[in-house]
Chain A
Amino acid sequence: MDIFANLLLGLSVAVSPVNLAYLFAGVVIGMVVGIIPGFGPSAALAILLPVTFGMDPNGAVIMLAAIYYGSQYGGTITSILLNTPGESSSVASTFDGYPLAQQGRAGPALVMQAVASFVGGTLGVILITLLAPAFSQVTRSFGPPEFFLLVVMGLSTLIVMVGGNWRYGLISALVGFALGTVGVDLETGQTRFTFRSAELIGGIDFIPIAIGLFGLGELYYAFYTGMHLSGSGGIVQYQKEKRFWPQLADFAETRFALLRGSVLGFVIGVIPGAGATIASLMSYSLEKSASRTPEKFGKGAMAGLVGPEAANNAASSGAMVPLLTLGIPGSAATAVLLAAFVLWGLTPGPLLMAQKPEFAWGLIASMYLGNMALLALNVFAIPLFVQMVKLPYRILAPAVILVCTVGTYSVNASPIETWLMFAAGLAGFFMKLHGFSPAALVLALVLGPLAEQSLRQSLTISRGSLSIFLERPTCLWILGITAVVLTLGILMRRSGRGR
């Protein structure tokens, strides 16, 4: 009953005309961001974060969250029509989405991905509605040892689950932690690594780093891979008039894939560090192994498109659970959302849902409406977004660099922060080029102060003994879940290498 009353309260916040306008703006921006390869929701959120300073926190977070989950919808359009994922979480959608388009079924594939995204996203929000309050109750008993272990769990999951060399992932995370130590030590008031610069006393600003790593860095990497040379020549045309709508058989064939993808995606999304990309790839493997015709996968199987799409959208909903109830982001994009919460004076964590119900439930209620708006946009405004896909990268990329630079400068009118963004852009390019993980760096930068504070508090409580992490039952649970997730990750990497 409490849940129902809270949801009604949230709906009353979300349906105010201003918040509806922000929600709609957010889903459209999210779609556009999703379509542009090499420009993800993390950079878009970081650029738009300063824009929301003057806004009401409810409206601002509704818009930013809509950009985040809206980008999951948009990323698939290029996967299907161009064989180029707009987002890393849409990689699995290229496996069968593009072959479907080549077979003249681009229309049904686009509609089915929209339906799958809607089902995954909405089921994810229903699960948040049901589980987040209970989760919030459980996490109220968490102390410093639990929070430290949750940070370790999130980062180690991210490092092991995302492909590439784990050592480079760990180096990225350690660099993020190191950057997080710059500024004033909150316990003693002593300055660290500031080199007597007044600009560094408050620490390294998160916004220029995120814009540089995920905006400029990704764009430079796209130039390096020659994306500006390819144009939109490979785009598959689709017919709006005939053979656009899916057939009943498509729905019948994929109904279980929709459900499996949604549930799997949500569970993966809740685990800090796992995220939408892992969820979609795991869903693809699951659908292939569950199918009676696995040989069709990779050649245009609708279940191979629908499962991962439902999974990545459910995962983006699931990622809201640790963010809202623990204040622990699971990905770079949710790390930017956390930064946004903190800027507005909100402290995500066990008490957020009890102390600021209109905020937490307003966000959850808006996600129902946002998914509906995205479904309508995806089905009825596809031609508009397809025109965007046709824009050559050589024109799109300079425009994005322009927005990144002006967006960073406009925050504090600071040339130093603009140069910091540029340096982060170059670092992001080299990190991507050499297999390092910008996401781990940003996540560690955001979580670093929490990790340090909770580790120091834990060791002070235990008088220096590490056994505090093994004595508390909740710590043992977190360690157990971490061990299972890491073992799964290692097994996945080994099986991937074997193939």
Chain B
Amino acid sequence: MRAGFLAAILLVAGGYTWLAFAELDYLSSAGRLGPGFFPRIIGVALVVLCAHSLYAEVRTSREALSETWRTTVVVAAFSAAFIVALEPLGALLSMILFLGATLTYLNRGRPLQNAALALLLPIGVYLLFKVWLNAALPRGILPL
């Protein structure tokens, strides 16, 4: 897993470094150090360090996947679905749905507690941000 993560950073770092050399000037038109100076140093250092770490990792890696991965992936997926639903459904409804789904998955066997929390907590957060702090929250399909 770590090797994959390092490879992803290396890929992005490679692109960053290529852009730093291809599109950004080392010196400005006035002859001073230009916009490409610092990114080139950072990019090269990042590529060298990532490549070295990836090589070391691939040589020694012996990892096993944990069971809690499933919960982590499910909660991350619920968070992403929450962000997707935020604007079309509105803040209040999407909060209720997110909390309802997440608590049903995590806090099993307590439907009443989950329903109460999924309803009351979003109302509290909504009042805090929308009414007290006057923050911009998406309205969605509810007439709020």
Contact = CB atoms under 8 A, between A and B. Distances in A.
Interface of B is mostly: helix
A434 B5 contact: yes
Interface string A383-424: 000000000101101110111011101101101001100100
A409 B16 contact: no
Contact of B32 (A174, A187, A193): A187
A188 interface: yes
Nearest to A176: B42
A216 B79 CA distance: 9
B133 A220 contact: no
Please classify how large the interface on chain A is, using the bins under 10, 10 to 19, 20 to 34, 35 or more.
35 or more
Interface residues of B, number: 58
Contacts of B122: 402
Nearest to A193: B19
Contacts of A455: 38
A403 B102 CA distance: 14
A433 interface: yes
Contacts of B45: 174
A170 interface: yes
A126 interface: no
B80 to A, nearest CB: 6
A228 B133 contact: no
B99 A398 contact: yes
Interface in A171-229: 171, 174-175, 177-178, 181, 185, 187-188, 190, 192-193, 216, 219-221, 223-226, 228-229
Contacts of A399: 99, 117, 121
30 contacts: A51-B133, A171-B46, A175-B46, A177-B38, A178-B39, A190-B34, A192-B24, A193-B19, A223-B72, A226-B68, A392-B107, A397-B75, A398-B99, A398-B106, A399-B99, A401-B79, A401-B98, A402-B95, A406-B129, A409-B86, A409-B136, A410-B129, A410-B136, A418-B83, A425-B79, A433-B2, A434-B2, A435-B2, A456-B38, A460-B32
Interface of B: 1-2, 5-6, 9, 13, 16, 19, 24-25, 28-29, 32-35, 37-39, 42-43, 45-46, 49-50, 52-53, 66, 68-69, 71-72, 75-76, 79-80, 82-83, 86-87, 91, 95, 98-99, 102-103, 106-107, 117, 121-122, 125, 129, 133, 135-138
Given A398-B103, A460-B32, 6 more contacts: A168-B53, A226-B71, A399-B121, A406-B125, A425-B76, A425-B79
Chain A to chain B: the 10 pairs with minimum beta-carbon distance, closest first: A410-B135, A185-B35, A394-B106, A413-B136, A398-B102, A452-B38, A434-B2, A174-B46, A224-B72, A456-B33
